[in-house]
Amino acid sequence: MKPVKVGLLGLGTVGGGTATVLSRNAEEIARRAGRGIVIDYAAALDTSHATRLGLTRTRLSNNALDVVEDPEIEIIVELIGGYTIARDVVMKAIQSGKHVVTANKALIALHGNEIFAAAQANNVIVAFEAAVAGGIPIIKSLREGLAANHIEWLAGIINGTGNFILSEMREKNRAFDDVLAEAQTLGYAEADPTFDVEGIDAAHKLTILSSIAFGIPLQFEHTYVEGISRVTREDVANAAELGYRIKHLGIARRTGHGIEQRVHPTLVPSQRLMAHVNGVMNAVVVKGDAVGPTLYYGAGAGAEPTASAVVADIVDVVRAMTADPNNRVPHLAFQPSRLADTPILPIDAVETAFYLRMRANDRPGVLADITRILGDRGISIESLIQKDPELVDQDVDIIMLTQRVREGNMNEAVRAIEALDSICGRVTRIRVESLG
């Protein structure tokens, strides 16, 4: 049987890793797929790396459309990134009857509904395992391995840059800006780190996971996003004193009123496995009604970990190319006609516990005023620490953990506390999740 001819778009980190893995493990991959798989055509703005990557027999172009329009290419592997040119070439490939493999989380999160509808209309597959958590097979696990389950919730560390920063802050008592600069030097963070540290990258990934878990259309625009740039060394130390660690989590939960879909810094109990995922590693916990909690852990980025997922998708596509399109695994786990219109809840309607840190005048009655404001809104205090001032008449830090409360009520309480003349500046708050 003739090998399947693949068109590779992009020869950067992941593209190079994909070429390397396909070449090095060619025999093993062919045994699994039932046919050989070759990169017959590749496109990149700079093709000078092709020889180093072993693509000596691969046709090369600087124009991605040359590859997409070539009649011999059966599978397009899109590793360009972004969501402008990438969207155009993916839609062109689908309309040309070619299957697509992509690692592009932004493309899927923002344009996936349109892309999957076009793929269904043209009887082709769009595979995207590498779009979330690098080499961890979380999409396949959710879509296939947990198909018997009613998924209740999932929570994940799905951005390695943010996790590296928080890990370094905790382990070495370093400031956010200092660790971010090191992450950029090490290549973990881009020159413009906004997507990583402000949670946008994680929100793209959470949007995809939530859609597959709950059978809803992709809705990135309704994902609540909050980054880690305001987390301080003091917050990290206070969390440890209270028995928690701060992690940047993506959380999706099914409730009786809708779906929670949120990315934000989170206090996690230190005894949870998730609290011990450090450095640039990723992890996702999924809670199903039948299986209970399951944990998926591994490298969330890097050339070969991500290439592992890309090549696995290529193998899956090759296996399914001759299958009846009606018997293929649906892109979002549920049949397209059975996707639910369950709403995504606004953040004000979400219930969580909270960590609060505020700076107050050290005088009688201040704590009573704060507890009265919280009590009037039905907010119970679980733990409280008042730091001793270093000097007489100096302001003090008050740290609290609350029990679970609706976010809208907490917003009202924080505004009222900040309005007290005894409170200096803003109240810091970080959500708390037990992950139990």
- Residue pair 238/355 in contact (Cβ under 8 Å)? The answer is yes
| From 98, 105, 140, 205, the catalytic residue | 205
Strands 4-9 and 75-78: parallel
The values of phi and psi at residue 376, to 5°, are: -60, -20
Q: Beta strand pairing status for 405-406 and 396-402?
A: unpaired
Tokens of residue 415, six digits: 């505004």
Q: How many CB atoms lie within 10 A of CB 375?
A: 12
Q: CA end-to-end span of the chain, whole Å?
A: 51
Can 205 be counted among the known catalytic residues?
yes
CA distance 4 to 305: 23
Rounded to whole angstroms, how far apart are CA atoms 61 and 45?
A: 8
Q: What is the DSSP pairing of strand 244-254 with strand 405-406?
A: unpaired
Sequence letter at residue 136: I
Integer angstrom CA distances of residue 408 from 107, 201, 256, 260: 32, 26, 18, 14
- Using an 8 Å Cβ cutoff, are 26 and 7 in contact? no
Are 100 and 92 a contacting pair, CB within 8 Å? no
Cβ atoms 278, 421 nearer than 8 A: no
Catalytic site positions: 205
